[in-house]
Amino acid sequence: MLGNLKPQAPDKILSLMAEYKADTRQGKVDLGVGVYKDPEGVTPIMRAVKKAEQRILETQNTKAYTGLAGTQEYRDAMAGLVLENAPADRLASVATVGGTGAVRQGLELVRMANPDAVVHVSDPTWPNHLSILKFMGQAFVEYPYFDNATRGVDFDAMLAAIGKAKKGDVVLLHGCCHNPTGANPDAGQWDDIAASLEKTGAVPLIDLAYQGFGDGLDADAAATRMLASRLPEVLIAASCSKNFGVYRERTGILMALGEGSEARDLTQGAMAYLNRQNYSFPPDHGARIVSTILDDAELRQDWKTELEEMRRTMLDLRKQLAEELRNLGGNDNFDFIEHHRGMFSRLGATAEQVAKMKEDSGIYMVGDSRLNIAGLNNDSVPVLARAIVEAGV
């Protein structure tokens, strides 16, 4: 039986990581994997996380299962963080195995509710979106998103495309810090997106993986909160991997807003059922860290302070890189890097140019020229800038 399995294509990012590790050159730069790194190249454990874990260690007296949906404390804390004033009469939620698990459970919920739904997904998007959709056999179409000439959002084309969605379809949106491009709609464009969804009756599935990494916790959630207030049905897949730094704890949540308490209860039951079919009870350690932090004023403030430091570090790196490229090239062609938000930017380089940067300068980035800004430091920014110019990007 097992001999009938077909070889699977290796994950491009994991393959890039292995190639980077095998490279013996000094001064090589890893801009591939999407994790935050400090200037020393370490993904740190946040201060509040350490304090919360110590508190849990000292006070926790059982490792028994939580409920199928996870603890109410975690779900309430995350609803407050994402939605601020979460409408209890409309909101159903379940803890998930990371943000990826939340996306998968959200798509499973869509299939249960409407087997004929078509998912509209941005071009480009996070590779796992397409991988999951294809594995599920879920019908999907791509809508234009990134303008390779301006390195911004091709908004007119995007709006025209999502306007073709039908009632009961799903439009997959990135709540902030669009992965892989770093280019986000502005507030007015988000209003236009909401108006389109109101007109078509399509349901947004918002992937919110980077809240706090762009313009701040509340600013990054503004579009999600606006859609939740205007639309009758909204799905939200949120992750704690980046903003709490608990990558390996696989801490996520799926939230669903419906029309009233009856729809809420039906949805809550369906979501708990899906958890049961996939992994029974969700993991608790990361979720308990998050709820411990968010429910304690002192820990929450310390977490927000450190998160803001991380955000500011990435903004400073963006500014430094844009300035280096401006000085080297004598033009403002790369100013878009400073205006992008989050961990990623897409340079608009060809695969050949990306390969040249790797071969000549030890610069490792994904083949579509997505680079992780958080993989840089003050010393490596000039190295990357020279490599970009020498590659003719």
Q: How far is CA 47 from the centre of its chain?
A: 22
Distances, alpha carbon 393 to alpha carbons 333, 356, 375, 390, in Å = 10, 10, 20, 8
Catalytically active residues, by annotation: 126, 207, 209, 242
Which pLDDT band holds residue 15 (cuts at 50, 70, 90)?
confident
pLDDT at residue 331 in the model: 94
pLDDT at residue 120 in the model: 98
Mean pLDDT, residues 89-116 taken together: 98
Sign of the dihedral defined by the CA atoms of residues 207, 76, 45, 105, in that order: negative
pLDDT of residue 191 exceeding 90, the answer is yes
Mean pLDDT, residues 55-61 taken together: 97
Quick check: helix, strand or coil at residue 30? Answer: strand
DSSP classification of residue 25: -
- Pairwise CA distance, residues 277 & 235, whole Å: 20
Contacts made by residues 11-17, CB under 8 angstroms, sequence distance 24+: 12/127, 12/366, 12/367, 13/127, 13/366, 16/364, 16/365, 16/366
Report the percent of the chain where pLDDT is more than 90. Answer: 95
Which pLDDT band holds residue 13 (cuts at 50, 70, 90)?
confident
pLDDT at residue 74 in the model: 98
Residue with tokens 């369906």: 270
Residue with tokens 């961990």: 343
pLDDT of residue 9 exceeding 90, the answer is no
Mean pLDDT, residues 87-96 taken together: 97
Main-chain dihedrals φ then ψ at residue 67, nearest 5 degrees = -75, 170
Instruction: Show the beta-strand stretches assigned E in the chain.
Output: 29-30, 91-97, 119-123, 140-144, 146-147, 152-153, 170-174, 203-208, 234-239, 251-257, 344-346, 363-364, 370-372
Q: Kind and range of the H or E element at 51? A: helix 47-59
Which pLDDT band holds residue 239 (cuts at 50, 70, 90)?
very high
Q: Are 46 and 240 in contact (CB under 8 A)?
A: no
pLDDT at residue 320 in the model: 98
Which pLDDT band holds residue 10 (cuts at 50, 70, 90)?
confident
- Pairwise CA distance, residues 278 & 110, whole Å: 15
Domains belonging to the chain, first-starting first, are 11-45+300-390 (3.90.1150.10), 65-295 (3.40.640.10)
Write b or e for each residue in 273-310: b if 16 or more Cβ atoms lie within 10 A of its Cβ, otherwise e: ebbeeeeeebbbbbbbbbbbbbebeebbebbbebbeeb
Tell me which residue of 51, 42, 172 sits closest to 102, measured CA to CA. 172
Q: Are 243 and 210 in contact (CB under 8 A)?
A: yes
Quick check: helix, strand or coil at residue 128? Answer: helix
Lowest mean pLDDT among 11-15, 41-45, 135-139: 11-15
Distances, alpha carbon 137 to alpha carbons 115, 131, 168, 279, in Å = 11, 10, 17, 21
pLDDT at residue 12 in the model: 82
- Pairwise CA distance, residues 335 & 315, whole Å: 13
- Pairwise CA distance, residues 149 & 371, whole Å: 17
As a whole number, the mean pLDDT across the chain is 96
Which pLDDT band holds residue 98 (cuts at 50, 70, 90)?
very high
Residue with tokens 């301006």: 150
pLDDT at residue 263 in the model: 96
pLDDT at residue 33 in the model: 84
pLDDT of residue 17 exceeding 90, the answer is no
pLDDT digits (tens, 9 = 90+) for 208-228: 999 999 999 999 999 999 999
pLDDT digits (tens, 9 = 90+) for 127-155: 999 999 999 999 999 999 999 999 999 99
pLDDT at residue 11 in the model: 82
**And the tokens for 230?**
């205007």
pTM for this entry: 0.96
